[in-house]
Chain A
Amino acid sequence: MMLETLEQTIASSLNTQVRVIQEGLTRYPIFTPFTLPDGDHFDVVLIAVESGSVWKLTDEGSTLMHLSYWTPYEALMRGSRKNVIDNVLSRHAVQNDNGVLYLEFPPHQLGNALMTYLQALTQVSDIEFLNKEQVRETFREDFNTFMREIVPPERLKLNYNHPTHDPNEIYTVDARINGLPEPFYIFAIGTNDRCRDVTITLHTMEKWPIKFQSVAIFRDQQSIARDVLARFSDVGGKQFASLTSSGVAIRSYFEKRILDPA
């Protein structure tokens, strides 16, 4: 096939996959072939602002809403994920107005602006594929943020060590919730090593004359070696398999028990 024919075939194919409709005087939804990981197409709307001297491409908040089906919105808006999203948007001059991603440009740059904008949305949607190392980095900050969200500050102590039994601060509890007959000792477990440490910590604490309820929140319980997890399960209390995906269940578990300890 000649180069020119190839070019025409590709251009024609792209043309037929783009559709623009008009809603009102200045609002134009644009349908393109670019999709999110589930096959839904990106929501893109072209809006004329400032009497048409400036145009704006906007997703009307749909991209981040869509990603929240798989990753909690709060997790997208903090820590490493937020940094990645901010960097993508910044590289493409796309603004984030409280969850609405938009790009403003002069009308004559529509073609380039649309491609840039779609590239930004595609890269933002790739946040779901953050590599394991990056996700591991976000785990502790996600855990701390989550605990601060669900527990009143006067009842929460992060990185707690028992003042009498652990003066050298060897057996650290990631979060302690007080104000209960038996306080919650909560452990954030992201790796095999941390799981082993927590197992030892709980065995040690069992020998102390104190009462507590232990809860383990895993980054990804499936990534913990079977034998390591088995030893931990002998001594650990309540377990949640994933901070990210079990967020609703964890919140519900603690809210119920903090408000009504009986």
Chain B
Amino acid sequence: MVVYTDAEIEEFINERKILPDNYYDVLINQLKIRGAHKRSELTIAGVNQNTYYIDVRQSTHNVRNFSVILRVENRITTGSFILRRYNGDNHWHTNALEGEDIHDFHIHLATERYQAASRKPEGYAVVTNSYSDIVTALESMITDCGFIRPSDNRERLI
């Protein structure tokens, strides 16, 4: 079942999302331990009234095992829909439909074709060299996905 088309996914990614002043504190400095991993969450409103969530997960055993996740509250089915995941390089990834293997840092992208194939929407991933740890992965996602940093927003208002 296709929940969102590629065009709709692109709209979500590009929708402007204003980060609160304390986003870095909440997401990175206030990671809480659950079992064998650390986690944090932040809810952000988009300017088109969509609700987004950033989730951060990092293994307590291996700092290169992490995921910075962007979700949107789902208007069509229940719950939320994962748009992007910025993953560490501790594990391999295989793009099942293309038969491609990835052995590096990679970004999971929600796609229409993986939904149509009844796979995880974000089952497709691309290699990246835009980050090398959890902090730069978060910054990379902020740059890629329509987020407006608090400082950018203040400059805009002056």
Residues of chain A whose beta carbon lies under 8 Å from any beta carbon of chain B: 29, 31, 33, 35, 37-43, 60-62, 64-66, 68-70, 73-74, 77, 97-100, 218, 220-222, 241-242, 244-246, 248-249, 252
Contacts and interface: CB of A to CB of B under 8 A. Distances in A.
B79 to A, nearest CB: 2
Interface of B: 34-37, 39, 41, 43, 51, 53, 55, 57, 59-62, 65, 67, 69, 73-74, 77-80, 82, 85, 87, 90-96, 103, 108, 119-120, 122-125
Contacts of B78: 218, 220-222, 241-242, 245-246
A65 B93 contact: no
A38 B123 contact: yes
Contacts of A61: 35-37, 59-61
Contacts of B87: 40
Nearest to B94: A39
Contacts of A252: 43
B121 to A, nearest CB: 9
A243 B63 CA distance: 30
A222 B76 CA distance: 8
A69 B57 contact: yes
Nearest to B87: A40
A66 B90 CA distance: 13
Given A65-B59, A245-B80, A248-B43, 7 more contacts: A38-B108, A43-B65, A61-B59, A65-B65, A98-B36, A222-B78, A241-B74
A211 B123 CA distance: 48
A40 B57 contact: no
A60 B35 CA distance: 11
21 contacts: A31-B92, A37-B123, A39-B124, A40-B91, A41-B91, A61-B37, A65-B37, A68-B37, A69-B67, A74-B34, A98-B35, A99-B35, A100-B61, A241-B78, A242-B78, A245-B80, A246-B73, A246-B78, A246-B80, A248-B41, A249-B43
